[in-house]
Amino acid sequence: MSSTAQKTQNIQQSHLTTQNLSSNDTTALPVKHHQIVIVGGGAAGITVAAQLLKRDRALDVAIIEPSDKHYYQPGWTLVGGGIAPISKFIRDEKAVIPKGATWIQNRVTKLEPDRNIVITQEGEIEYDYLVVCPGIQIDWHLIKGLKEALGKNGVTSNYSKDYAPYTWETIKNFKGGNAIFTHPATPIKCGGAPQKVMYLADDIFKSNKVDATVMFCTAGASMFSVPEYSASLDKVVARRQIVTKFKHNLKEIKADTQEAIFAVTTDSGTEEVSLHYDMIHVAPPMSAPDFIKHSPLAGAGGWVDVDKETLQHTRYANVFALGDASSLPTSKTAAAARKQAPVAVHNLLALIRSKPLSAKYDGYTCCPLITGYNSAIMAEFAYGGKLAPSFPLDPTQERYSMYLAKARVLPWLYWNRMLKGKGFEADILKPINKLVRR
């Protein structure tokens, strides 16, 4: 066999299955090169792809995403609280891939930006420009005994689609005792989620007249990173008589004795504390995916090292990143990704056209903090914890309208506007907000 024939055979044997949604069929083809490669087909990746193709249909955009399902992850709190079934927040990945984009259903194993190469489990993909947004990695293994305990005997977590339904089963069938809700020391996606489910659980316990001691055990020193919102949440936990334990970082679950072991930071150092639980909702530690941590793209903490305003990589000019895996110093939420996407798109197209990168991201993020079955605080803020409300209302107050927005409006906007590449609705209200705040 000639060397050419051997090379052809090798390519055929290691082909990548790709799907071009413009023709709606699946074809086995060797993939060599794409103009723009997006790593991750979640909220950030799909939004960026949709906006790129809205701006220029001639672009060659490929999305690398291994999952055949797409999840609206903010909805898992609603599942854990019995508000909606998990099926409401799942779509086929094929259905959300923008028309004209190529879907490469594969898993990335390595990034080689010096060669402009993404390596997947089945081969190499070359790019001219790279957008990195694979989401965050959940490190269940960093809490000893957690993986073995999850999903039974009152140990649960809304941070997995597999256990969010069990959270609701646990809450509604709770017979009393200690109900612990944890928050880890690492950055996590949707930083308010660990306490949202706690307030819903407390409502159910009270409705069922269950004798429960509800505890919020957080590795942090306050209820929330932004002082104005933290002060409001202090009032919520005080009103509900929830026990708060700050600087408590969960390290181990002892399922046989129903003990949660915490590393507690004190003025004199760190000490180990054991708390009995009758149910425990765990927010696990999280990090950038390993293939990012071990790549040249990683900066401090293993996150993709990008400029916090332009979203361009600090060392590789043809690389951009957004979403949970980026180094952007703001809360990791779908709302943040939605505001980051147009900045990444504008600046990437500017780079392609040899123009200045003029779009700037201000750190906007939003965490709809459910504080009960009829109330929520729409915690919107930007870099430095600066309040950035979309509505001409005091954003630190609990409101029924904001609960309705979280439970009903935001899921619809996600599927029907965000993933379609459409603009941020609240931008329409900016002129009104400016007038009100004069």
Count of helices and strands (H, E) across the chain: 13, 23
Q: How confident is the model at residue 1 (pLDDT cuts 50, 70, 90)?
A: very low
Which residue out of 133, 190, 217, 366 is catalytically annotated? Answer: 190
Q: What is the pLDDT of residues 42-92, one digit of tens each?
A: 999 999 999 999 999 999 999 999 999 999 999 999 999 999 999 999 999
Give pLDDT, residue 32.
Answer: 81
How far apart are the C-alpha atoms of 2 and 297, rounded to whole Å?
39
Query: Each residue of 367-380: b (16+ CB within 10 Å) or e?
Result: bbbbbbbebbbbbb
pLDDT of 102 above 80: yes
Q: What is the pLDDT of residues 249-297, one digit of tens each?
A: 999 999 999 999 999 999 999 999 999 999 999 999 999 999 999 999 9
Place of tokens 């970082």: 249
Give pLDDT, residue 16.
Answer: 40
Mean of the per-residue pLDDT values for the chain?
92
pLDDT of 165 above 60: yes
Q: What is the pLDDT of residues 354-403, one digit of tens each?
A: 999 999 999 999 999 999 999 999 999 999 999 999 999 999 999 999 99
How far apart are the C-alpha atoms of 265 and 408, rounded to whole Å?
40
Q: Is 358 exposed, middle or buried (0-12, 13-18, 19+ CB in 10 A)?
A: exposed
Q: Select the more confidently predicted residue: 232 or 19.
A: 232
**367 classed as catalytic:** yes
pLDDT of 334 above 80: yes
Q: Which of 275, 321, 265 is nearest to 295 (CA)?
A: 321
**3-class SS at 379?**
strand
How far apart are the C-alpha atoms of 66 and 118, rounded to whole Å?
14
How far apart are the C-alpha atoms of 248 and 100, rounded to whole Å?
49
pLDDT of 138 above 90: yes
Give pLDDT, residue 4.
Answer: 33
pLDDT of 7 above 50: no
Give pLDDT, residue 433.
Answer: 63
How do strand 279-281 and strand 123-132 relate by DSSP bridges?
unpaired
5-17 average pLDDT score: 36
pLDDT of 310 above 70: yes
Give pLDDT, residue 429.
Answer: 67
How far apart are the C-alpha atoms of 142 and 168, rounded to whole Å?
25
**190 classed as catalytic:** yes
Q: Select the more confidently predicted residue: 401 or 11.
A: 401
User: Hey, what are 173's tokens?
Assistant: 């069938």
Give pLDDT, residue 10.
Answer: 37
Give pLDDT, residue 333.
Answer: 97
- Is the model's pTM score more than 0.75? yes
Q: Which of 327, 332, 407 is nearest to 364 (CA)?
A: 332
pLDDT of 2 above 60: no
**3-class SS at 406?**
helix
User: Hey, what are 290's tokens?
Assistant: 């390993």
Q: What is the pLDDT of residues 200-238, one digit of tens each?
A: 999 999 999 999 999 999 999 999 999 999 999 999 999
DSSP-assigned beta bridge partners for residue 259 = 254, 276
Whether the CB-CB separation of 113 and 319 falls below 8 Å is answered with: yes
Q: Which of 95, 101, 96, 76 is nearest to 86 (CA)?
A: 76
Give pLDDT, residue 431.
Answer: 67
H helices present in 289-378, as ranges:
290-293, 334-352
pLDDT of 3 above 50: no
% of the chain beyond a pLDDT of 70 = 91
Place of tokens 């005091």: 394
Query: Each residue of 189-226: b (16+ CB within 10 Å) or e?
Result: bbbbbbbbbbbbbbbbbeeeebebebbbbbbbeebbbb
User: Hey, what are 114's tokens?
Assistant: 């010096």
Residue 268 DSSP label: T
pLDDT of 404 above 60: yes
Domains in the chain (CATH in brackets) are 3-136+288-361 (3.50.50.60), 139-286 (3.50.50.60)
pLDDT of 320 above 80: yes
pLDDT of 28 above 70: no
With a CB cutoff of 8 Å and minimum separation 6, the contacts of 269 are none
With a CB cutoff of 8 Å and minimum separation 6, the contacts of 26 are 17, 18, 19
CA angle at residue 70 from 64 to 75, to 5 degrees?
140
Q: Report long-range pairs for 311-317 (Cβ below 8 Å, ≥24 apart).
A: 311/340, 311/343, 311/344, 311/347, 311/361, 312/347, 312/351, 312/357, 313/113, 316/113, 316/130, 317/351
310-321 average pLDDT score: 98
Q: Which of 25, 94, 90, 23 is nearest to 63 (CA)?
A: 94
Q: Which of 345, 337, 344, 390 is nearest to 363 (CA)?
A: 337
Which residue out of 133, 217, 366, 367 is catalytically annotated? Answer: 367
Give pLDDT, residue 379.
Answer: 98
How far apart are the C-alpha atoms of 160 and 164, rounded to whole Å?
6
